[in-house]
Amino acid sequence: MKKTNSLINKFDAFATATSKAMGSTIAFTVAFLIILIWALTGPIFDYSETWQLIINTGTTIITFLMVFLIQKAQNKDSLALQIKLNELIASSESSSNSIVNIEDITEEEMKIIQKYYRHLSDLSKKDKTLTMSHSIDEANEKHQFKTKKVKVTPKEKPLNKLKIKEKPKSALKKNIN
């Protein structure tokens, strides 16, 4: 088991280093020079099929391998970013913990949650400053307080009275409602 983890760790390090190296100015310059040299040698080889086959085969193999290396590095970077965002959400008193690990829910559930955040955005547009509300619940409370003084129109109904046909099936349902 240790050998597998060691091999995976080595591949992770290799994929990350290769991805960073291939995205550098030096890598682009080297690739450009290879293509330039290949193009300049065309007349020497009479633009033969072998001459064309060399560049086609080389670029195909490199592209095929780089797709996997870049995807591996991108997956690792994406996971690290998600963990950092989850830490920020979880550590903030005013944020909703219901969106920690939101990437694990279905797209339909995300669309339902997006409706709530649109509602929050609509409510915050009515506030005097951008910092007046920090969460959906807080925005609803402030908006309900404000609407006690002013008659509520159908467009300004509080979030819990919004008519949404679908509700999240996951544990998010409890936290959002």
Domain boundary (91, 124, 151) is at 91
pTM over 0.75: no
Residues 39 and 65 in one domain: yes
Q: Which of 91, 112, 146 is the last residue of a domain?
A: 91
Question: Could you tell me if residue 139 is inside a domain?
Answer: yes
Q: What is the pLDDT along the chain (177 residues), one digit of tens a residue?
A: 455 678 888 988 898 899 899 999 999 999 999 999 999 999 999 999 999 999 999 999 999 999 999 999 899 999 999 889 888 888 877 677 777 878 888 999 889 888 888 887 887 777 766 566 556 666 677 667 766 754 545 444 444 444 444 444 444 444 444
Quote the pLDDT of residue 177.
41
* pLDDT value of residue 28: 95
CA angle in degrees (0–180, nearest 5) for 78-80-85: 95
140 contacts 123 by C-beta, under 8 angstroms: yes
Amino acid 60: pLDDT:
97
Q: Which domain holds residue 132?
A: 101-176
* Residue 164 per-residue DSSP state: -
Q: For the CA atoms of 172, 110, 73, 85, what is the dihedral angle to 10 degrees? A: -50
- pLDDT value of position 54: 94
Q: Do residues 13 and 69 both lie within one domain?
A: yes
The answer on 137 and 83 residing in a single domain is no
> Domain boundary at 91, 115, 145, which?
91
Could you tell me the two tokens for 20? 């960073």
Work out how many domains the chain is built from and give that number: 2
Q: Are 173 and 167 in contact (CB under 8 A)?
A: yes
**Residue 126: per-residue pLDDT:** 76
Same domain, 144 and 72: no
Note whether 86 and 100 are within 8 A (CB). yes
Shared-domain flag, residues 80 and 110: no
